[in-house]
Amino acid sequence: MSTEILGFPSDATEGSVPSGAGAVAGSGAGGGGPVLVGCSHGTDNPDGQAAIRAILDDVRATRPDLDVREAFVDVQQPEVADVVTQSVAPPATGEGRGAAAVVVPLLLSTGFHVNVDITEAVSPTHEGRGPQHGAAAAARALGPDPRLAEILADRLAEAGVRPHDSVVLAAAGSSKAGAARDVEAVAELLRARHDGPVTVGFGAMATPTVRDAVAAAREALATSAATGEVATADGEPTGETHATPSGSDERGTGAPAPRVVVAAYLLAPGFFHDRLLQTGADLVTAPLAPDARLTAIVLDRYAEGVEALASR
């Protein structure tokens, strides 16, 4: 069985982008508000690095008044804590406090990196910071968000998904239960946009694995074909059958058999996306980036972080 992957879309899709927060005390060098630190996981894949950088370039183009900086929690440098320390450092004159900063996780779910690495990075007691350093806050993860489900649905359409194909939403995975709940919330949003079953699989640290989820989806399709049972949106059989008088299913004897399609719930190419090609799926979608809706989500999260700083 061969697995196909749809090529990366070359241009961001059109979408609305919020205006974000206006100028506030503690603005960065751009003068439009606190420094925006976009923090991703990090990857050694050049295409993945370019995809993440493109998100931040789009943010800069949309909000040229902001000081936008890049940081990472793993693999790449600079580390997020170091970027925050530099961003909120006191003025060289020694007078007054440093600028404020908001770290926006370029991560799709709330896992260890959001709850621990980024949370620690914005702590005022972090090593190297003193009373003259500016304040820092961490925004929430990009997901769950209805716009992410919209992008996933678009990637499925680009890959050629058919209405009765079984979709496995493939996330990187985390040891934190909250991350799995975030992924399931996005799966529920995707079910409203796809007629066939939508289940969830993880690349690591959580179950089921993507490979196991693909195998289960294929088994469910085989059972449905043999018995005529209709599966629910989450892949479970309903006990109901849809059959014509001749015994063929409602799609008709000439309809192509449903396939198993992996929807990559990943921002960019890299290690986890490469592994999806080895899970036995018939199709694997491209990652989410680039897309203008991601820019809008990043700026929404930033605005929430600015509000959190203002309320302190």
Rounded average pLDDT per 10-residue block, the chain, 312 residues = 36 40 58 93 97 98 98 96 97 89 97 94 92 96 99 99 98 91 98 98 96 98 82 57 43 77 98 97 98 99 97 88
CB 185 within 8 Å of CB 109: no
User: Are the beta carbons of 282 and 259 closer than 8 angstroms?
Assistant: yes
Residues in the chain: 312
Instruction: Please tell me whether residue 112 adopts helix, strand or coil conformation.
Output: helix
For the beta sheet containing 101-105, the strands, ordered from the edge strand earlier in sequence to the opposite edge, are 68-72, 35-40, 101-105, 136-138
Edge-to-edge strands, sheet with 283-284 = 4-5, 283-284, 260-264, 166-171, 198-202
Decide which of 3.40.50.300, 1.10.10.10, 3.30.70.270, 3.40.50.1400 is the CATH code for 146-225+258-289.
Answer: 3.40.50.1400
Q: Where in the chain is the domain with CATH 3.40.50.1400?
A: 35-142+294-311, 146-225+258-289
| pLDDT recorded at residue 291 | 98
The separation between CA 301 and the C-alpha centre of its own chain, rounded to angstroms, equals 13
Q: b/e map of 97-121 (b: 16 or more CB within 10 Å)?
A: bbbbbbbbbbbbbbbebbbebbeeb
Q: What is the bridge-based pairing of β-strands 68-72 and 35-40? A: parallel
Query: What is the value of pTM for the model shown?
Result: 0.85
In whole angstroms, give the CA distance from residue 182 to residue 159.
Answer: 24
For 48, left (φ over 0), alpha (ψ -120 to 50), or beta?
alpha
Helix axes of 146-159 and 177-191: crossing angle, nearest 10 degrees? 60
Cα–Cα distance between 177 and 111 in angstroms, integer? 8
The confidence score (pLDDT) of residue 7 equals 33
**H/E stretch holding 36:** strand 35-40
Output the six-digit token pair for 244. Answer: 């014509």
CATH, domain 35-142+294-311, list 3.40.50.1400, 1.20.140.10, 3.30.1360.30, 1.20.1440.230: 3.40.50.1400
Q: Give 209's strand partners.
A: 202
